[in-house]
Chain A
C-alpha cells in the first residue's frame, strides 16, 4: 500500500518537473552561459560568455546592444559621474587609489565565426556625451531574422570597482551586480505601446537601475578555495576543487532578467525552507544574530504574496547581508538574490533590516517577474514595491509602529512615505512619468518611491481594498514575465474599477492618474468655515413705509430655536478628488456628505433645531495624499485637553533644559 502511494507520488513529481521543464515561465529571450575567474590580486573578472539571444519580433535585426555597466565608473566623464558628481566618500578610492573600474570585451564572434569586434562601438542613446562607454553597439554581419536566434561568444575582462553603487569589492568582500556585458531589450512594435520595434538600452545613469529580458543563466565562478559564493539560483553541484588554490562554483537559474553573486571567505550561511523554496542567508559573523529577524519576517512575506498574487515560483532566494565595509552594495534586488543591510549600532526597534528585506523581496514580483522598465518608469517597480513594503510591514508590526518603535518614538511605514513626500522642498517638482535621469534636484527617489506609494495608498482607499486587490492581482497575472508600461497598469485599473464601481467610476480613473502620475498637483482639503445662526424673521420696511418690522427668532412647534447651519469646505490644493465630509450635531447625530471636490469652496447647509458641533473633511483619510490632515477638521468649541498635554510637556522640558545647562556653572 505504502509503495503504491510512493509510486504514485514519484510519478506525479516526475511529471510535475517535466511540465516545469517543458513550460517555461518566461519567453527566455537572453540566455547566458558564463565562466568567470575572480582575480583577487588585481580585482579583475576574467570571463567568457556564450549568449543565445532570440529575436522576439517580426523585425530583421542588424545590431545588438549591450550594457557595459562597469564603464560608468571608468572616469569622471561618464554620464553617471557627470550627473552625480564625485561623492566625497568615493573620492579617496577613485582619485587617490585609482579604483576606477571598466569592462573590456576582448573578442566577440557569432555562431558562424564572424568577428563582431570590428565594427563594435560605444553608443549614447540618451545624451550627447560621447565619453560615456556604458552602452556598446555591435553591428551584425549577418542579421537576426524574425523570431530566430543568434549565438554570440565573447571573452571579456572587468576591473571590479571598490564598493561603488550597488556593486564592487572592499577588503575581501565582493559583490557582483550589473557586472557583466548584458544585452539590452529589443522591444517589438506594440510592446509598451511602441510604434515600431527598436532597442531599449539606456546608458547607465546616476538614477535608475536596469531593464532586461528574461532568460536562463548558467554561471561558473572560479574563486579562491577559501571563498564562499552566494549567488542567484541554485548550485548545479558541489564546488569543484581545482587543486590550484581555487574552487569552481556553478549556479543555474531560469526565467530571470539578471544574475548577481557575491563572495567572501567570511560568509556564514544560514538556511530555512518555505514550502519548498530554499532560503539562504549569508551574513558576516558579527551579524549572525540578525538571522532570527530575517527568518521571522520572510515566511510571512512569502505567505502574503502567495495569498494576494501567487506562490513565489523560483526554487531559491538568496539574501546577502553585506558587512559594514560593503555597505554600499546593500539594499538591492536581483532575481532570486537580494542584498539587505544590518548594523549592530541600530536597535531592533528601528526596523531597517526588516524594511530592506521585505522591500527587496517585493521586487521579486514587481521588477523581476513583472519586468517593467526601471529606467523609464521607475515608479512601476519602486513605487509599487514601496507600497507593498508598507502593506507587509504594517501587517506584521502595526501601521503606527511598522518602521520605528523605539523609546516611545513610533512611525509607520506608509505615514513615513507621506511625510517624506510632503516634506520635500517642492513636492510638485516633477511628475512620476519622467525618465529616471530626468528628475531635477535629486527628486528621483522621493517622487518615485514615496509619492508613488502614497498615491497607490490613496487609490486603494478610494476604490476600496477589495477592488484594489483585484486590480493588483489582475495586473500581476496579466503581466508577469512580460514588460508592461504605465498605460498597461492604468488600463487594468480602469477595467477593474469600471466593472466593480459602475456608478461611481464608470469612466475609469484617468482623472486620478492625470493628476498623480502625469501631473504634479497637490492635494489639500480643509474645513473653511462652520456656523449655526438662529433663524429669524425678516426685519426692515416692507409694504408700509411707516411700519418698521423687527426681527424675531423663529421657533418650532415645541418652542425650540431653529438654526440655519452651514459648513464650508475648501480645496486649497490644485488636485481635484472626490471627498467625504462628516458633519456632527449637538444631538449626537452625524451626516456623511459627498463632494466631488471640484469647486474652490463648497457649502453644505442645514436647518433645524440641532447645531453643528464639528465637521471633518475626509474623516477616514481616504485621500492619503492630502498634505495636511490637521486642517481637515473644525470644532465649534475648542478641546483644550490635547493642548494642555503638550503645553505641560513643553514647560517641563524647558525647565529641564535650563537646569541642565546650569550644571556648567
Chain B
C-alpha cells in the first residue's frame, strides 16, 4: 500500500465514522466543561460587577492579569488543580476509549456501533494502559538522554564562550530529539495495530513486532506520519488565521471565535482518528 492510499483509507475511516468522531468530541467538550463551569462562576463572582471585565476585552493586559492572579490567585489555583485532575482523568479515559476507536477503525467499511465501541474499550484497556505506560517511560528516557546531551557543555557563563553555543546546541539536539520522538510515536501506533490483530497476553511482542514493522517500512511509516502531521499543521494554520483575523470584543465575535475554536477541536479529533486509521490500514496491507 502506498502512503497516499493509506492516508486516503484513513480519511475514509474518519468520514465513515462520524458518530465516533462526534462522540469523542462530545466527551472532550463535557470533560472540559467540568472545569470551565467553576471557572466561569469564579470569574463572574470576582469580576462580574466590575469595569475590569470590559477592560479585559482589549486583549492581554499585564496590569489586570497580575492584579487578578495576586488578589484572586487562591481561587484560580483551586481551579487549575481541578483542571489538572480532569486532564489526567481524561487521559485515563482516553486510554480506555482508544480500545473502542481501534475496534471501530479496524476495517475501512466498519461503521460505528455503540456496543462495539464500548466492547473494544473494555477489551483492550489493560493492554493499552500497559503500552502507554511503557512508551511513556521510553519517552521520558529519550528526553532525559537528549537533555543530558544538550547540557553536556552546561549553560553557565563560566563554561561557555557565548550563547551562540546554546543556540547551536538547541538547533542540533531538538530536531534529532523530535526525529527520535517521532519514531517512538510511530512504533507505538503500529504496536496498537498489532494488538488489534494478535491477541497476545504480553505486550512485549507487539512492541517488538512494531519495531520490526516500522524499520522494515520506515520510509512509508515516516511519510505517512509526516503527512498526518502536515494535515494537523494545515488545520492549525487555518485556525490561527481565522482566529486572528478579528478582535473578539463583542458577544457576536466571541461566539464566532467559540465556533472557530470548536471546529479546530473537531478537526483535531478527526486527525487523531486519521492517524490511527491510516496506520492500521498500512499495517494491514503488509500483514
Contacts and interface: CB of A to CB of B under 8 A. Distances in A.
Interface string A644-665: 1111101110111111011111
Interface in A606-665: 614, 616, 627-648, 650-652, 654-659, 661-665
Given A642-B54, A650-B36, A655-B28, A409 B254 contact: no
B158 A286 contact: no
A648 B51 contact: no
B261 A648 contact: yes
A408 B29 contact: no
Contact of B91 (A643, A651, A656, A661): A661
A400 B43 CA distance: 24
B180 to A, nearest CB: 15
A27 to B, nearest CB: 40
A323 interface: yes
Interface stretch (A304-312, A324-332, A382-390): A324-332
A170 B157 contact: yes
B185 A663 contact: yes
Given A408-B59, A664-B132, A643 B47 contact: yes
B146 to A, nearest CB: 17
Given A326-B157, A641-B249, A658-B31, A400 B47 contact: no
Interface stretch (A16-24, A213-221, A370-378, A417-425): A417-425
Given A325-B161, A419-B66, A651-B32, A665 B98 contact: yes
Given A614-B51, A648-B257, A643 B40 contact: yes
B83 interface: yes
A497 B86 CA distance: 58
A344 B33 contact: no
A659 B162 contact: no
B286 to A, nearest CB: 23
A299 interface: no
Interface in A387-414: 400, 404, 408-412
Contacts of B139: 664
Interface string B234-255: 0000000000000011110010
A423 B66 contact: yes
A339 B57 CA distance: 40
B50 A634 contact: yes
B268 A633 contact: no
B51 A655 contact: no
A654 B88 CA distance: 12
Interface in A270-293: 284, 286
Nearest to B165: A324
A89 B49 contact: no
B196 interface: no
B158 A93 contact: yes
Given A93-B158, A162-B158, A645 B56 contact: yes
Contacts of A422: 66-67, 70
A171 B161 contact: yes
A345 interface: yes
Nearest to B139: A664
A46 interface: no
A45 B257 CA distance: 65
Given A630-B68, A654-B32, A659-B269, A638 B48 contact: yes
A501 interface: no
A344 B57 contact: no
A297 interface: no
A234 interface: no
Nearest to B94: A662
B51 A616 contact: yes
A33 interface: no
A658 B90 contact: yes
A631 B50 contact: yes
Contacts of A343: 163
A438 interface: no
B254 A641 contact: yes
Contacts of B40: 643, 647
Interface residues of B, number: 72
B52 A89 contact: no
A171 B164 CA distance: 16
Contacts of B43: 643, 646-647
Contacts of A654: 32, 35-36, 83, 86-87
Q: Which of A93, A171, A404, A655 lies at the interface centre, i.e. has the most chain B CB atoms within 10 A of its CB?
A: A655
Contacts of A328: 157
B158 A325 contact: yes
B172 to A, nearest CB: 15
B215 interface: no
A632 B265 CA distance: 38
B182 to A, nearest CB: 11
B47 A648 contact: no
A62 interface: no
Given A635-B51, A662-B90, A629 B64 contact: yes
B156 interface: yes
Given A419-B66, A631-B50, A645 B185 contact: no
A79 interface: no
A155 interface: no
B44 interface: yes
A163 interface: yes
A92 interface: yes
Interface string B92-109: 001100100000000000
Given A658-B31, A665-B94, A646 B56 contact: yes
Given A416-B62, A642-B55, A657-B87, A635 B29 contact: no
Contact of A640 (B48, B86, B98): B48
A63 interface: no
Contacts of A412: 62-63
B179 to A, nearest CB: 16
A630 B71 CA distance: 9
Contacts of B31: 658
Contact of B71 (A418, A628, A662): A628
B160 A411 contact: no
B272 interface: yes
Q: Which of A93, A639, A647, A654 lies at the interface centre, i.e. has the most chain B CB atoms within 10 A of its CB?
A: A654
Contacts of B46: 630
Nearest to B156: A89
A656 B51 CA distance: 30
A110 interface: no
A267 to B, nearest CB: 14
Contacts of B166: 345
A352 to B, nearest CB: 13
B207 interface: no
A481 B156 CA distance: 40
A585 B70 CA distance: 31
A238 B212 CA distance: 72
B218 interface: no
B60 A415 contact: no
Interface of A: 89, 92-93, 162-163, 170-171, 284, 286, 323-328, 343-345, 400, 404, 408-412, 415-416, 418-419, 422-423, 614, 616, 627-648, 650-652, 654-659, 661-665
- 4 cross-chain pairs, A with B, having the tightest CB-CB distances, nearest first: A642-B53, A419-B66, A642-B56, A411-B62
Given A630-B72, A643-B44, 10 more contacts: A89-B158, A284-B162, A614-B51, A635-B51, A641-B249, A642-B53, A643-B43, A645-B57, A658-B31, A665-B91
Interface of B: 28-29, 31-33, 35-36, 39-40, 43-44, 46-57, 59-64, 66-68, 70-72, 83, 86-87, 90-91, 94-95, 98, 128, 132, 135-136, 139, 156-158, 160-164, 166-167, 185, 248-251, 254, 257-258, 261, 264-265, 268-269, 272
24 contacts: A170-B158, A286-B163, A325-B158, A325-B162, A410-B60, A410-B61, A412-B62, A419-B62, A419-B66, A629-B52, A630-B68, A633-B51, A642-B53, A642-B55, A645-B56, A647-B36, A648-B254, A648-B257, A651-B258, A652-B261, A658-B90, A659-B268, A662-B90, A664-B139
